[in-house]
Amino acid sequence: MSENECRYTPPMSAHVLSGKPVADQLLEALKPQVEVLNPKLVIVQVGADPASTSYITQKFKSCDRVGMRHEHRHLETDTSFDQLSSLIDDLNRDSDVSGFIVQLPLPSHLEPHTPQLIRAVDPRKDIDGFGAYNLGKMFLSVEFEHLPPATPSGVIELLNFYSIPIEGKHAVIVGRSNIVGKPLAVMLLNRGATVTVCHSKTKNLSHFTRQADILCSAVGHPKLITKEMVKPRAVVIDIGVNRMDGNLVGDVDFESIKEIASAITPVPGGVGPMTVASLIRNCVRAKERQLEDQK
Ligand code: GUN
């Protein structure tokens, strides 16, 4: 080949950011603390939503791996608001319960009461990090984060594990939920990223996504993010969870985007295992703080 000839170089495929080794490392590091502190995690489930049942199974599997005590409080679909509130009160008062979550979504008759029910959870036991107290601490600074929301916290752990810099980068988040999009924006901002949050009312979404060094999607819309919406060499974090024909898929068109991104999370096996590991870490932290407060 002469010097002037152009050599075809195949596109470099993205680094696939598996959450498994990250979650494994996090869980392994928690084992000695679990042995000493002996925390207990409770999950409240109302009804039998199959996706919720599957998430709960994964959470309890990880509890077993680290030797953490756990209990499933499974209530009938027609449980009333008062009955659920009363269970939350009991769990708040039970000194043997270190942390608990109410698995969402709730059945349709309880769904509108979700904010009120989240508010009823004692902030010291709010291991989902969904309540105003824990969100407020996370909002203030990295140092004040104590029980941060599990999914955004898992994303940060994932980026750290793979040595992906955050400071000075432009992070674009698609989705503005209280449990993922908004807290993730603040956590990235507090770590020095410039953050743009896009949502269902954003006009010309791709104008923003194409600027992202780190693009995170948490919408719940399969293949929302296509190759044309991604800047070459961007890091793409897929937080979407969608069921299609019995399979779990994210928000991102993984196959085409992996050809141009520098790194990308798979679904399943990316952010999902990180959410579970962060929840268990929060339960250990909750118990640790409860013991300190007793001193
Ligand atoms: N449903 C789906 N993910 C979650 C979660 O992280 N916490 C709760 N409570 N419900 C969920």
Q: Which residues pair with 72 in a beta bridge?
A: 43
80, 186: one domain: no
Beta bridge partners of 102: 44
Cα separation, 272 vs 55, in Å, equals: 9
Both 71 and 97 in one domain: the answer is yes
**Among 273, 274, 292, 295, which Cα is nearest to 37's?**
292
Q: Which atom of ligand 1 is found nearest the CA of 241?
A: 2
**Does 27 reside within a domain?**
no
Question: What's the gap in Å between 276 CA and the centre of ligand 1?
Answer: 10
Atom nearest to 43 CA in ligand 1: 9
Q: Which domain CATH number covers 99?
A: 3.40.50.10860
β 242-244/247-249 pair status: antiparallel
pLDDT value at residue 189: 98
For the Cβ of 45 lying below 6 angstroms from any atom of ligand 1, the answer is: no
Mutate to test the pocket of ligand 1, among 155, 177, 179 (most ligand atoms within 8 A of CB): 179
Q: Is residue 174 one of the residues assigned to a domain?
A: yes
Is 213 in the active site? Answer: no
For residues 89 and 229, membership in a common domain is answered with: no
256 and 180 co-located in one domain? yes
The pair of three-digit structure tokens given for residue 48, joined into one six-digit string: 């039998």
Asked if residues 192 and 167 have their Cβ atoms less than 8 Å apart, the reply is yes
* Domains of the chain: total: 2
Cβ within 8 Å of residue 7, ≥6 positions away: 1
Structural domain contains residue 31: no
CA dihedral 43, 46, 49, 54 (to 10 degrees): 10
**Domain match, 232 and 162 both:** yes
Please report whether residue 32 resides in a domain: no
Give a yes or no: residue 176 inside a domain. Answer: yes
Q: Is 101 in the pocket of ligand 1 (CB under 6 A)?
A: yes
Cβ–ligand 1 distance for 128 under 6 Å, the answer: yes
Q: Of residues 45, 125, 126, 128, which has the active-site annotation? A: 128
What CATH number corresponds to the domain at position 249? Answer: 3.40.50.720
Residue 136 located in a structural domain: no
Which of 56, 73, 103 has most ligand 1 atoms within 8 Å of CB, for mutation? 103
Residues 50 and 13 reside in one and the same domain: no
Residue among 40, 103, 126, 238 flagged as catalytic? 103
Q: What is the structure's pLDDT at 1?
A: 46
Q: Is residue 278 domain-shared with residue 224, that is, in the same domain?
A: no
In angstroms, rounded to a whole number, what is the distance separating the alpha carbons of residues 23 and 77? 32
Residue 59 is among the residues annotated as catalytic for this protein: yes
14 and 86 housed in the same domain: no
Residue 275 beta carbon below 6 angstroms from any ligand 1 atom: yes
CA of 104 to the centre of ligand 1 (A): 5
Query: 24 lies in a domain?
Result: no
| Unique residue bearing structure tokens 């019995």 | 246
Q: List the residue whose alpha carbon is closest to atom 8 of ligand 1.
A: 103
Domain assignment of residue 30, yes or no: no
- Same domain for 215 and 278, yes or no, is no
pLDDT tens over the chain, length 295 residues? 455 556 666 557 999 999 999 999 999 999 999 999 999 999 999 999 999 999 999 999 999 999 999 999 999 999 999 999 999 999 999 999 999 999 999 999 999 999 999 999 999 999 999 999 999 999 999 999 999 999 999 999 999 999 999 999 999 999 999 999 999 999 999 999 999 999 999 999 999 999 999 999 999 999 999 999 999 999 999 999 999 988 999 999 999 999 999 999 999 999 999 999 999 999 999 999 999 999 8
Shared domain check, 179 and 75: no
Statement to judge: residues 266 and 280 lie in one domain: no
In this structure, are 246 and 278 located in the same domain?
no
**Dist. CA 166 → ligand 1 center (Å):** 26
Name the pTM for this structure.
0.94
- 186 in ligand 1 pocket by Cβ < 6 Å? no
CA distance linking residue 34 with residue 288, whole number of Å: 10
Q: Which domain holds residue 217?
A: 7-18+149-273
